[in-house]
Amino acid sequence: MLFKDAYTSENLLKYYVLFETNQMYHKGISELQEMGFTINAIVCDGRKGLLGSYGEIPMQMCQFHQAAIIRRYITKNPKLEASKELKSLVSLMSTTDKESFIGALNDWFEKWDDFLKERSLNPLTGKSHYTHKRLRSAYRSLKTNKEWLFTWYDYPDIKIPNTTNALEGHFSDLKNKMRNHNGLSIKRKKLFINEFLKA
């Protein structure tokens, strides 16, 4: 887990973990504050339970991660017209303002509300279920996260990035270099990573 300063591109703090947890995020923020850093805002990938957990610190969910979530639900090439429209809407997220995006999302929902409520019957169990469950999940994700997708827009003076792409690019570079050193022991891999992150 890596904590990076978006203004200076400096790597501030890292942990070696088996899994990312909200507890480790909280630990990292506390540790940075104890080191004397002022946290103007947090940009993260939108872990459940993390967004909104720092009432006093603005939080921005990475728009790239949100788009990836929607893509997993409705695929890269959706067949349904409602899904195609939602995909087009999501593609505008990084180039439009908050009011326009939320207004367009509300318009999309009003248009497709009845469609989203359609149910199908399972002939084996006799029970019904939502026909377009994955599309409903995609919409629900946007509806739930919309509060944190435009934090950068609500705080223009702070200049908050709207994605974690700088961090993701850093990790991609690290992974490429690590592939050239596949035979290293865990200890030597950590030494390699430590030097890479310093550089």
126 DSSP 8-state letter = -
Residue 68 has pLDDT above 90, yes or no: yes
List, for residues 17-47, the tens digit of each pLDDT value: 998 899 999 999 999 999 999 999 999 988 8
What is the sign of the dihedral through the CA atoms of 71, 75, 81 and 83?
Answer: negative
* Confidence class for position 79, pLDDT limits 50, 70, 90: very high
Residue 105 has pLDDT above 90, yes or no: yes
Average of per-residue pLDDT values in the chain: 91
Tell me the C-alpha distance between 156 and 14, whole Å: 28
Longest dimension (CA), the chain: 63
Ranking 86-95, 109-118, 159-168 by mean pLDDT, the lowest is 159-168
CB-CB contact of 86 with 108 (8 Å): yes
pTM: 0.85
* Confidence class for position 154, pLDDT limits 50, 70, 90: very high
List alpha helices for the chain, DSSP H.
Answer: 22-34, 63-74, 81-91, 98-116, 133-149, 151-154, 165-179, 186-198
> Which residues, including other chains, have CB under 8 Å from residue 116's CB and lie 6 or more apart?
82, 109, 130, 132, 135, 136, 139
Tell me the C-alpha distance between 90 and 70, whole Å: 8
Residue 199 has pLDDT above 70, yes or no: no
Residue 73 has pLDDT above 90, yes or no: yes
Q: Given this model, what pLDDT does residue 99 score?
A: 96
Q: Given this model, what pLDDT does residue 153 score?
A: 94
Tell me the C-alpha to C-alpha distance, in Å, between residue 157 and each of 39, 46, 60: 14, 23, 14
CB-CB contact of 68 with 94 (8 Å): no
User: Span 150-171, mean pLDDT?
Assistant: 88
Q: Given this model, what pLDDT does residue 172 score?
A: 80
Residue owning tokens 């961090």: 167
Q: Given this model, what pLDDT does residue 70 score?
A: 97
